[in-house]
A and B are shown apart, each in its own frame.
Chain A
Amino acid sequence: MKIYFPWIGLVARLILGGTMVAAGYLKIDELDKSQMAVRSFELLPIWLANFLGIFLPFFELAVGLLLIVGAATRVSAALIGLLMIAFIIGIIQAWARGLSIDCGCFGGGGPVAPGTANYTTPLLRDFGLLALSIYLFYLPQSKFALDRHSSSAETTGE
């Protein structure tokens, strides 16, 4: 079974990294909207939401690229996992409070017409991505990665 792990790791890296690169790339053109998307979760102080609206797309792009090439896999996976937990909290609280917003996960975002908000899809996606990042955190060894790991499976060296 264990010889499959590096291949599973490769798939996890590509899915997770590819998703992050796409999410970052689609936002980087329209940072005003990205800021608006973060503000409309009504969770953070305005100044912090505006800062994150600019910072997150670059961050997503950077950790996504690192994962795709397999550099700093473990740290990148941990950072993405924390980000996913933050997103999940943001979406659940928006849903629970009855806000009508688009998550802006892949660009766009902001308020939408009442009754048309879709929270299930982004939540399921974020839970899936969280699972992948947890997997990579515990088993960062993967094929075609720049990270060097010793042959022993117990060593999860960074």
Chain B
Amino acid sequence: MAKSPAPKGKDNFTRNIVIAVVVGVALIMVVPTVLSSRTNTSAAIPASVSAERGYGIVYNEELTGVPVIDIYQDFQCGVCAQFEILQGDYIESLIAEKKATVVYHTLSFLGPESVNAANAAACSADQDQYLDFQRTLYSNMPAERNAGGWSNDLLAVIGGAAGITAPEFAECVKKGDYLGWVSNAAAAGAQANVNSTPTVFINGKEIDRQSEYFDVAKFRAAVERG
């Protein structure tokens, strides 16, 4: 492995610089990214969000002895819309009749407009109209993802359609007040090993993906079984 005594014009200086730059830039990029994927406990959280429950939007937090339903969803996920359309009435009746604690986790892995929509959902929770907003979102879901369908301007309009009239809502949507919370919710979903949406846990255990998500009777049985 002896070095050749006479370098042939080409020395290793350039090579070493290139190696240092590539490795250095990669480290400069990866370290902050890893750090920012951690939970930022100082991020603003909307009303009815519980950090202990994975930064989900919680209904009936105070109840004990009832099933806890955790729903992980992405507002650009078509299957989530189907789930909400099929099971939404039943889940909302459980909330209204105080028969279950329901935690909505808004994930955002389908792109920037999922982030917009999740932020807007948090803004609607501040106005105590999350469920109305979610329903309106899913029934107006754009056919194509990240194509301007859920720009912040349009999300503010959707909020109006859902009956949210407070001017703070539109401001919160456009300013992205809850972007820190959105990434906290995403990190919590990653820690909970949620790998697709929708994912539904009842009392911390995932229900059967093959049968229980899209069958009204079987979903109801799964909730009642607890």
Q: Hey, which bits of chain A sit against chain B, CB under 8 A?
A: 30-33, 35-36, 39-40, 46-47, 50-51, 53-55, 58-59, 61-62, 65-66, 69, 71-72, 110-111, 114, 146-148, 150-152, 155, 157
Contacts and interface: CB of A to CB of B under 8 A. Distances in A.
Contact of A30 (B15, B19, B109): B109
B47 interface: no
B108 interface: yes
Interface string B1-28: 1111001101110110011001101100
B193 A30 contact: no
A105 to B, nearest CB: 16
Contacts of A33: 109
Secondary structure class of chain A's binding surface, majority of residues: helix
Interface stretch (B29-37, B93-101, B132-140): B29-37
13 contacts: A32-B107, A32-B190, A33-B109, A46-B193, A58-B26, A58-B29, A59-B26, A62-B25, A66-B18, A66-B19, A147-B12, A148-B8, A148-B15
B196 interface: yes
B136 to A, nearest CB: 25
Interface of B: 1-4, 7-8, 10-12, 14-15, 18-19, 22-23, 25-26, 29-30, 33-34, 37, 107-109, 111, 186, 190-191, 193, 195-196, 210
B26 A148 contact: no
B30 A71 contact: no
B55 to A, nearest CB: 14
A77 to B, nearest CB: 14
A54 B26 CA distance: 12
B108 A32 contact: yes
Contacts of A148: 7-8, 10-12, 15
B109 A36 contact: yes
B18 A46 contact: no
User: Which of A33, A36, A40, A155 lies at the interface centre, i.e. has the most chain B CB atoms within 10 A of its CB?
Assistant: A36
A62 B7 CA distance: 28
B196 A110 contact: yes
The 7 closest A-B pairs by CB, nearest first: A150-B4, A32-B109, A146-B15, A62-B26, A58-B30, A40-B195, A71-B18
Contact of B195 (A36, A58, A72, A146): A36
A46 B190 CA distance: 8
User: Which of A32, A33, A55 lies at the interface centre, i.e. has the most chain B CB atoms within 10 A of its CB?
Assistant: A32
